[in-house]
């Protein structure tokens, strides 16, 4: 676990004392920020603190989760390839405001990662250059990794014509 | 009436002869989408050597094949591709559904995985297993050869009977509330 105190000092001087929440768990260093501040924190981390690599963008649905106050938790994992510092930045979103600024202007690699989150959870990344479904077919309706989506789907897997021997 | 037959001449039925030729030169279309495809490759390799049964010519163009081997799970995005490839294969043609996933969906009882390809295309042989060993696939090919010899015809009349047009199973998709046994919900009430 690489020390992050310098980064936390920089964040404190830039964003104030209590605008974010830092915690550690099993050697994971985590930073929870407000959704409207998420982009500016990530921009600051990249341009000032040297977190030059975006490892992953993903999302968690906390519907029915014990003790959860928010519905969706976005997760950004960033890495400083010079110092080896690694930071998990999280932001929470609630319906109906499922919008967050895209980080494609900061890391080009966020393009497909954000498309996948949009595909599976329906979170809209404003400013994304090409926000389409990436894995599921374009005509698919719904967001299957949401907890209120039925496991066996809504009949998509059986919505095809049957080919008989006579047609073949 | 007696007919003089020269030496080295055999008499047979045309249906029988055509079926004999077809069954000993099955050309598989490897539709391998998952780990069953690895066993399919092992079946074609030297240790198990499917060439002993005349089926070693794996063609990657459906227009040159007459046996489709669906090896692996098929998802809803892949099924239209599978159907198009099946329609592109020339008659007469047969289909082997290899493994649990292709036959029933296997462990993948989710929104995107087709629960058995026989719901949407005709299937002649099912191979159980996850994945099946090459011996099992070879047994399916031998059984299919027997089937072709038994009921095959020169003009392919066996494919246009009413029985062949029916779906293999009358399975309807069950509503979630009508599942035969209640499934445990992980973490208490949903």
Residue holding tokens 């047979």?
B12
What angle separates helix A5-15 from helix A38-47, to the nearest 10 degrees?
A: 130
Cβ contact A157–B109 (<8 Å): no
CA–CA separation, A150 vs B46, rounded Å?
46
Residue of A nearest to B163 (CA): A165
CA–CA separation, A120 vs A100, rounded Å?
16
Q: How far is CA B53 from the centre of its chain?
A: 16
A157 closest CB neighbour out of B112, B159, B167: B112
How many Cβ pairs within 8 Å bridge chains A and B? Answer: 77
pLDDT for B186 equals: 44
Cβ contact B159–A166 (<8 Å): yes
CA–CA separation, B116 vs B46, rounded Å?
31
Q: What is the dihedral of CA A154, A160, A165, A168, to 10 degrees?
A: -160
Cβ contact A152–B164 (<8 Å): no
Instruction: Check CB contact of A67 with chain B, cutoff 8 Å.
Output: no
CA–CA separation, A1 vs A83, rounded Å?
11
Question: Kindly report the CA angle at A108 between A104 and A110, in degrees rounded to 5?
Answer: 60
pLDDT for B115 equals: 87
DSSP string, A27-46: TEEEEEE-GGGHHHHHHHHH
ipTM at complex level: 0.76
Q: Which two tokens stand for residue A72?
A: 């969706």
DSSP string, A105-134: TT-TTHHHHHHHHHHHH--EEET-TT---S
Instruction: Check CB contact of A16 with chain B, cutoff 8 Å.
Output: no
B111 closest CB neighbour out of A137, A144, A164: A144
Instruction: Check CB contact of A155 with chain B, cutoff 8 Å.
Output: yes
pLDDT for A90 equals: 92
- In this predicted model, what pLDDT tens digit does every residue of B31-63 receive, in sequence order? 999 999 999 999 999 999 999 998 988 989 999
Top CATH class, A5-158: alpha beta
Question: Kindly report the CA angle at A146 between A145 and A149, in degrees rounded to 5?
Answer: 95
The helix, strand and coil proportions of chain A, stated in percent and rounded to the nearest 5, come to 25, 25, 50
Least trusted range by pLDDT, from A105-114, B82-91, B100-109, B170-179: B170-179
Higher pLDDT, B110 or A165: B110
What is the helix (H) or strand (E) element at residue A139, kind and residue range? none
Q: Are B95 and B122 in contact (CB under 8 A)?
A: yes
CA–CA separation, B43 vs B37, rounded Å?
10
- In this predicted model, what pLDDT tens digit does every residue of B58-98 receive, in sequence order? 989 999 999 999 999 999 889 989 999 999 999 889 999 99
* Cα–Cα distance list, B100 to A143, B38, B66 (Å): 27, 15, 22
Residue B175, pLDDT above cutoff 60: no
Residue B125, pLDDT above cutoff 80: yes
Domains, chain B, ordered by start = 14-167 (3.40.50.12280)
Residue B13, pLDDT above cutoff 50: yes
DSSP string, chain B: ------TT-----HHHHHHHHHHTT--EEEEE-STHHHHHHHHHSTTT-GGGGT-----SSGGG-SEEEEES--BTTTHHHHHHHHHHSPSS-EEEEEHHHHHH-TT--STTB-S-GGGTS--SEEE-SSSPPHHHHHHHHHHHHHHHHHH--TT-GGGGSHHHHS-S----PPPGGG-SSPPPPTTS--
CA-based R_g, chain B, Å: 20
Helix (H, G, I), strand (E, B) or coil at A148: coil
DSSP state of A70: S
pLDDT for B190 equals: 40
pLDDT for B43 equals: 93
Give the minimum alpha-carbon distance from A124 to chain B in angstroms, rounded to a whole number. 23
Cβ contact A164–B164 (<8 Å): yes
Give the minimum alpha-carbon distance from A38 to chain B in angstroms, rounded to a whole number. 31
Q: pTM for the complete prediction?
A: 0.79
Cβ contact A151–B76 (<8 Å): no
Q: Which two tokens stand for residue B67?
A: 């046996």
Instruction: List CB contacts (< 8 A) between A158 and chain B.
Output: 114-115, 119, 173
pLDDT for B168 equals: 59
pLDDT for B1 equals: 73
Per-residue pLDDT, averaged over B88-116, amounts to: 90
Least trusted range by pLDDT, from A49-53, B20-24, B185-189: B185-189
CA–CA separation, B61 vs B85, rounded Å?
9
CA–CA separation, B168 vs B172, rounded Å?
12
What pLDDT tens digit does each residue of chain A (168 aa) get?
788 887 888 888 777 766 678 888 888 888 888 888 888 889 988 888 889 899 999 999 999 889 888 899 999 999 999 988 899 999 999 888 888 999 999 999 899 999 999 999 989 999 888 888 899 888 888 899 999 888 888 877 777 787 887 765
């Amino acid at each position: 676990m690489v020390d992050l105190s310098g980064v936390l000092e920089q964040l404190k001087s830039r964003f104030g004392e209590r605008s974010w929440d830092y915690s550690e768990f099993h050697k994971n260093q985590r930073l929870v920020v407000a959704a409207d501040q998420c982009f500016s924190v990530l921009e600051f981390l990249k341009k000032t603190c040297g977190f030059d690599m975006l490892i992953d963008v993903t999302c968690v649905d906390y519907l029915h989760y014990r003790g959860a106050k928010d519905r969706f938790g976005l997760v950004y994992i960033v890495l400083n390839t010079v110092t080896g510092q690694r930071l998990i930045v999280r932001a929470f979103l609630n319906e109906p405001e499922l919008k967050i600024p895209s980080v494609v202007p900061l890391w080009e690699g966020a393009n497909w990662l954000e498309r996948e989150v949009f595909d599976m959870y329906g979170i809209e990344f404003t400013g994304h250059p090409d926000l389409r479904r990436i894995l599921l077919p374009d005509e698919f309706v719904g967001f299957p990794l949401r907890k209120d989506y039925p496991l066996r789907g809504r009949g998509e897997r059986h919505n095809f014509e049957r080919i008989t021997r006579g047609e073949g | 009436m007696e007919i003089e037959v020269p030496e080295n001449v055999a008499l047979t039925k045309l249906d029988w002869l055509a079926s004999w030729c077809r069954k000993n030169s099955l050309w598989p279309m490897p539709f391998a989408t998952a780990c069953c495809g690895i066993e399919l490759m092992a079946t074609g390799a030297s240790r198990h050597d499917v060439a002993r049964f005349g089926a070693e010519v794996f063609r990657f163009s459906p227009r040159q094949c007459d046996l489709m081997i669906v090896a692996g799970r098929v998802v809803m995005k892949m099924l239209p591709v599978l159907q198009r490839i099946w329609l592109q294969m020339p008659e007469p043609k047969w289909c082997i559904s290899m493994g649990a996933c292709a036959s029933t969906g296997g462990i993948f009882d989710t929104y995107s995985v087709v629960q058995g390809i026989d719901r949407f295309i005709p299937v002649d042989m099912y191979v159980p297993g996850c994945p099946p060993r090459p011996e099992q696939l070879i047994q399916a090919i031998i059984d299919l050869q027997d089937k072709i010899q038994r009921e095959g015809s020169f003009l392919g009349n066996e494919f246009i009977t009413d029985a062949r047009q029916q779906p293999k199973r009358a399975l309807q998709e069950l509503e979630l509330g009508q599942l035969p046994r209640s499934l445990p919900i992980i973490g208490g009430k949903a």
